[in-house]
Amino acid sequence: MERLFLNIAISPELYLKDPESSELGKKIVSQSIYLINELGFEGFTFKKLSKKIGSTESTIYRYFENKHTLLLYLTCWYWSWVEYKLVFETHNISSPEERLKIALNIITMPITEDNSFFHINEVLLHQIIISESTKVIYTKEVDKENEKGFYTVYKQIVNRISDIIIEINPDYNYPHMLISSTIDGALHQRYFSQHFPSLIDDKNGKDCVFSFYTDLVFNAIK
Protein backbone atom coordinates (compact mmCIF):
# COMPACT_ATOMS: atom_id res chain seq x y z
CA MET A 1 0.00 0.00 0.00
CA GLU A 2 1.32 3.39 -0.92
CA ARG A 3 2.05 6.16 1.50
CA LEU A 4 -0.83 8.54 1.96
CA PHE A 5 -1.63 11.56 4.05
CA LEU A 6 -4.60 10.42 5.95
CA ASN A 7 -5.90 10.85 9.39
CA ILE A 8 -7.59 8.26 11.48
CA ALA A 9 -10.33 9.98 13.44
CA ILE A 10 -10.95 8.71 16.94
CA SER A 11 -13.86 9.74 19.16
CA PRO A 12 -12.66 12.59 21.43
CA GLU A 13 -14.45 10.95 24.33
CA LEU A 14 -11.75 8.30 24.35
CA TYR A 15 -9.06 10.64 25.57
CA LEU A 16 -8.73 13.58 27.94
CA LYS A 17 -6.14 15.26 25.74
CA ASP A 18 -5.64 14.24 22.12
CA PRO A 19 -2.47 12.16 21.92
CA GLU A 20 -2.11 13.21 18.29
CA SER A 21 -1.71 16.81 19.43
CA SER A 22 1.78 16.43 20.87
CA GLU A 23 4.99 14.48 20.48
CA LEU A 24 4.60 13.11 23.98
CA GLY A 25 1.06 11.96 23.19
CA LYS A 26 2.27 10.08 20.12
CA LYS A 27 5.03 8.54 22.18
CA ILE A 28 2.50 7.36 24.77
CA VAL A 29 0.48 5.63 22.07
CA SER A 30 3.38 4.17 20.10
CA GLN A 31 5.29 2.90 23.13
CA SER A 32 2.18 1.48 24.80
CA ILE A 33 1.89 -0.87 21.81
CA TYR A 34 5.34 -2.28 22.48
CA LEU A 35 4.78 -2.55 26.20
CA ILE A 36 1.34 -4.19 26.04
CA ASN A 37 2.77 -6.77 23.67
CA GLU A 38 5.69 -7.37 25.94
CA LEU A 39 3.88 -7.58 29.27
CA GLY A 40 0.32 -8.49 28.31
CA PHE A 41 -2.49 -6.14 29.22
CA GLU A 42 -2.67 -7.37 32.83
CA GLY A 43 1.02 -6.70 33.40
CA PHE A 44 0.94 -3.34 31.66
CA THR A 45 0.74 -0.24 33.88
CA PHE A 46 0.97 3.50 33.32
CA LYS A 47 3.89 3.56 35.74
CA LYS A 48 5.92 1.18 33.58
CA LEU A 49 4.92 3.08 30.45
CA SER A 50 5.95 6.40 31.96
CA LYS A 51 9.34 4.95 32.83
CA LYS A 52 9.76 3.64 29.28
CA ILE A 53 9.02 7.00 27.69
CA GLY A 54 10.93 8.98 30.33
CA SER A 55 7.87 10.73 31.65
CA THR A 56 5.64 10.40 34.69
CA GLU A 57 2.47 8.56 35.59
CA SER A 58 0.47 11.73 36.20
CA THR A 59 1.34 13.05 32.74
CA ILE A 60 -0.08 9.93 31.07
CA TYR A 61 -3.23 10.32 33.14
CA ARG A 62 -3.70 13.71 31.53
CA TYR A 63 -4.07 11.97 28.16
CA PHE A 64 -6.02 8.83 29.10
CA GLU A 65 -8.42 8.15 31.93
CA ASN A 66 -6.98 4.69 32.53
CA LYS A 67 -5.32 1.79 30.75
CA HIS A 68 -8.65 0.32 29.67
CA THR A 69 -9.49 3.48 27.75
CA LEU A 70 -6.05 3.46 26.17
CA LEU A 71 -6.62 -0.10 24.92
CA LEU A 72 -10.04 0.95 23.66
CA TYR A 73 -8.36 3.85 21.84
CA LEU A 74 -5.93 1.43 20.20
CA THR A 75 -8.71 -0.93 19.08
CA CYS A 76 -10.72 1.97 17.67
CA TRP A 77 -7.66 3.09 15.77
CA TYR A 78 -7.17 -0.41 14.42
CA TRP A 79 -10.76 -0.82 13.21
CA SER A 80 -10.75 2.64 11.66
CA TRP A 81 -7.62 1.69 9.79
CA VAL A 82 -9.24 -1.59 8.64
CA GLU A 83 -12.32 0.30 7.50
CA TYR A 84 -10.16 2.71 5.56
CA LYS A 85 -8.39 -0.17 3.83
CA LEU A 86 -11.73 -1.81 3.10
CA VAL A 87 -13.16 1.26 1.40
CA PHE A 88 -9.95 2.03 -0.44
CA GLU A 89 -9.30 -1.46 -1.77
CA THR A 90 -12.85 -2.32 -2.85
CA HIS A 91 -13.36 1.02 -4.54
CA ASN A 92 -14.22 0.85 -8.25
CA ILE A 93 -14.54 -2.92 -8.25
CA SER A 94 -17.87 -3.86 -9.73
CA SER A 95 -18.07 -7.58 -9.01
CA PRO A 96 -19.45 -8.17 -5.51
CA GLU A 97 -17.72 -11.58 -5.36
CA GLU A 98 -14.42 -9.86 -6.04
CA ARG A 99 -15.15 -7.23 -3.39
CA LEU A 100 -16.04 -9.94 -0.89
CA LYS A 101 -12.75 -11.71 -1.57
CA ILE A 102 -10.83 -8.51 -0.97
CA ALA A 103 -12.76 -7.89 2.24
CA LEU A 104 -12.09 -11.41 3.49
CA ASN A 105 -8.45 -10.95 2.69
CA ILE A 106 -8.32 -7.77 4.76
CA ILE A 107 -10.11 -9.19 7.79
CA THR A 108 -8.50 -12.63 7.89
CA MET A 109 -4.95 -12.20 6.63
CA PRO A 110 -2.05 -11.50 8.99
CA ILE A 111 -0.46 -8.06 8.96
CA THR A 112 3.14 -8.70 8.03
CA GLU A 113 4.56 -5.31 7.28
CA ASP A 114 4.46 -2.04 9.05
CA ASN A 115 3.61 0.64 6.53
CA SER A 116 4.80 3.38 8.82
CA PHE A 117 2.06 5.74 7.81
CA PHE A 118 2.01 6.81 11.37
CA HIS A 119 3.83 6.47 14.62
CA ILE A 120 1.93 3.23 15.07
CA ASN A 121 3.44 -0.18 14.40
CA GLU A 122 0.60 -1.98 12.67
CA VAL A 123 2.10 -5.44 12.94
CA LEU A 124 2.32 -5.20 16.72
CA LEU A 125 -1.05 -3.49 16.95
CA HIS A 126 -2.58 -6.42 15.07
CA GLN A 127 -0.96 -8.73 17.61
CA ILE A 128 -2.60 -6.72 20.40
CA ILE A 129 -5.95 -7.01 18.64
CA ILE A 130 -5.41 -10.78 18.50
CA SER A 131 -4.27 -11.25 22.08
CA GLU A 132 -5.84 -8.46 24.09
CA SER A 133 -8.83 -6.93 22.33
CA THR A 134 -11.43 -9.27 23.83
CA LYS A 135 -10.63 -7.64 27.18
CA VAL A 136 -12.00 -4.36 25.89
CA ILE A 137 -15.43 -5.71 25.15
CA TYR A 138 -15.90 -8.34 27.85
CA THR A 139 -16.43 -5.98 30.78
CA LYS A 140 -19.36 -4.74 32.83
CA GLU A 141 -19.05 -1.39 31.03
CA VAL A 142 -19.85 -2.67 27.50
CA ASP A 143 -23.36 -1.30 27.31
CA LYS A 144 -22.37 2.12 28.58
CA GLU A 145 -19.45 2.27 26.16
CA ASN A 146 -21.57 0.98 23.32
CA GLU A 147 -24.05 3.80 23.91
CA LYS A 148 -21.20 6.27 23.64
CA GLY A 149 -20.53 4.90 20.16
CA PHE A 150 -17.13 3.37 20.78
CA TYR A 151 -17.99 0.27 18.77
CA THR A 152 -19.63 1.94 15.78
CA VAL A 153 -16.58 1.58 13.52
CA TYR A 154 -16.54 -2.15 14.15
CA LYS A 155 -20.28 -2.35 13.43
CA GLN A 156 -19.83 -0.31 10.27
CA ILE A 157 -17.29 -2.80 9.00
CA VAL A 158 -19.68 -5.67 9.67
CA ASN A 159 -22.46 -3.78 7.90
CA ARG A 160 -20.34 -2.90 4.88
CA ILE A 161 -19.35 -6.51 4.26
CA SER A 162 -22.86 -7.74 5.05
CA ASP A 163 -24.10 -5.46 2.30
CA ILE A 164 -21.79 -7.16 -0.19
CA ILE A 165 -23.17 -10.54 0.87
CA ILE A 166 -26.75 -9.38 0.41
CA GLU A 167 -25.76 -8.09 -3.01
CA ILE A 168 -24.50 -11.55 -3.92
CA ASN A 169 -27.37 -13.45 -2.34
CA PRO A 170 -30.31 -11.40 -1.05
CA ASP A 171 -31.85 -14.53 0.44
CA TYR A 172 -29.00 -15.39 2.77
CA ASN A 173 -30.37 -15.19 6.30
CA TYR A 174 -27.35 -14.46 8.48
CA PRO A 175 -25.05 -11.90 6.82
CA HIS A 176 -24.15 -10.02 10.03
CA MET A 177 -23.50 -13.13 12.07
CA LEU A 178 -21.45 -14.61 9.25
CA ILE A 179 -19.21 -11.57 9.05
CA SER A 180 -18.83 -10.84 12.73
CA SER A 181 -18.04 -14.48 13.37
CA THR A 182 -15.49 -14.39 10.54
CA ILE A 183 -13.78 -11.27 11.86
CA ASP A 184 -13.58 -12.50 15.43
CA GLY A 185 -12.99 -16.10 14.44
CA ALA A 186 -10.03 -15.16 12.30
CA LEU A 187 -8.39 -13.36 15.23
CA HIS A 188 -9.18 -16.32 17.46
CA GLN A 189 -7.70 -18.78 14.98
CA ARG A 190 -4.52 -16.71 14.75
CA TYR A 191 -4.21 -16.94 18.52
CA PHE A 192 -4.84 -20.68 18.34
CA SER A 193 -2.20 -21.12 15.67
CA GLN A 194 0.27 -19.47 18.04
CA HIS A 195 -0.71 -21.41 21.15
CA PHE A 196 -2.79 -24.47 20.23
CA PRO A 197 -1.39 -25.59 16.87
CA SER A 198 -3.05 -29.00 17.15
CA LEU A 199 -6.39 -27.29 16.52
CA ILE A 200 -5.24 -25.74 13.25
CA ASP A 201 -5.59 -27.67 9.99
CA ASP A 202 -2.68 -26.47 7.89
CA LYS A 203 -1.65 -29.24 5.54
CA ASN A 204 -1.13 -27.19 2.44
CA GLY A 205 1.25 -24.29 2.20
CA LYS A 206 -1.38 -21.57 1.92
CA ASP A 207 -2.55 -19.45 4.80
CA CYS A 208 -5.16 -21.74 6.25
CA VAL A 209 -7.05 -19.09 8.22
CA PHE A 210 -7.73 -17.12 5.07
CA SER A 211 -8.58 -20.17 2.96
CA PHE A 212 -10.75 -21.72 5.66
CA TYR A 213 -12.89 -18.59 5.99
CA THR A 214 -13.05 -17.92 2.25
CA ASP A 215 -14.27 -21.46 1.69
CA LEU A 216 -16.69 -21.18 4.62
CA VAL A 217 -18.23 -17.87 3.59
CA PHE A 218 -18.69 -18.68 -0.09
CA ASN A 219 -20.22 -22.06 0.72
CA ALA A 220 -22.56 -20.49 3.24
CA ILE A 221 -24.00 -17.87 0.90
CA LYS A 222 -24.11 -19.72 -2.40
Partner DNA sequence: GGATAATGATAGTATTACTATTATATTTGT
Partner DNA sequence: ACAAATATAATAGTAATACTATCATTATCC
Q: Smallest distance from the beta carbon of 205 to its own copies, in angstroms?
A: 13
At 38, the amino acid letter reads E
For DNA, give the closer residue by CB, 72 or 186. Answer: 72
Q: Is 49:39 a contact under the CB 8 Å cutoff?
A: no
In a 10 Å sphere around its CB, with 0-12 CB exposed, 13-18 middle and 19+ buried, how is residue 76 labelled? buried
Q: Smallest distance from the beta carbon of 94 to its own copies, in angstroms?
A: 26
Q: Is 72:66 a contact under the CB 8 Å cutoff?
A: no
For its own copies, give the closer residue by CB, 85 or 188. Answer: 188
- Tell me how crowded residue 59 is: count the other CB atoms within 10 A of its CB: 15
Rounded to whole angstroms, the maximal C-alpha distance in the chain is 57
Q: Smallest distance from the beta carbon of 60 to its own copies, in angstroms?
A: 20
Q: Enumerate binding residues for its own copies (CB under 8 A).
A: 39-40, 42-43, 131-132, 134-135, 137-140, 142-143, 146, 151, 155, 158, 173-178, 180-181, 184-185, 188-189, 191-192, 195-196, 198-201, 203-204, 208-209, 212, 215-216, 219-220
Q: Smallest distance from the beta carbon of 5 to its own copies, in angstroms?
A: 33
At 125, the amino acid letter reads L
Q: Enumerate binding residues for DNA (CB under 7 A).
A: 17, 22, 24-25, 43, 45-47, 54-59, 61-62, 65-68
* Interacting partner of 102 out of its own copies, DNA, none (Cβ under 5 to 8 A depending on kind): none
Q: Is 2:8 a contact under the CB 8 Å cutoff?
A: no
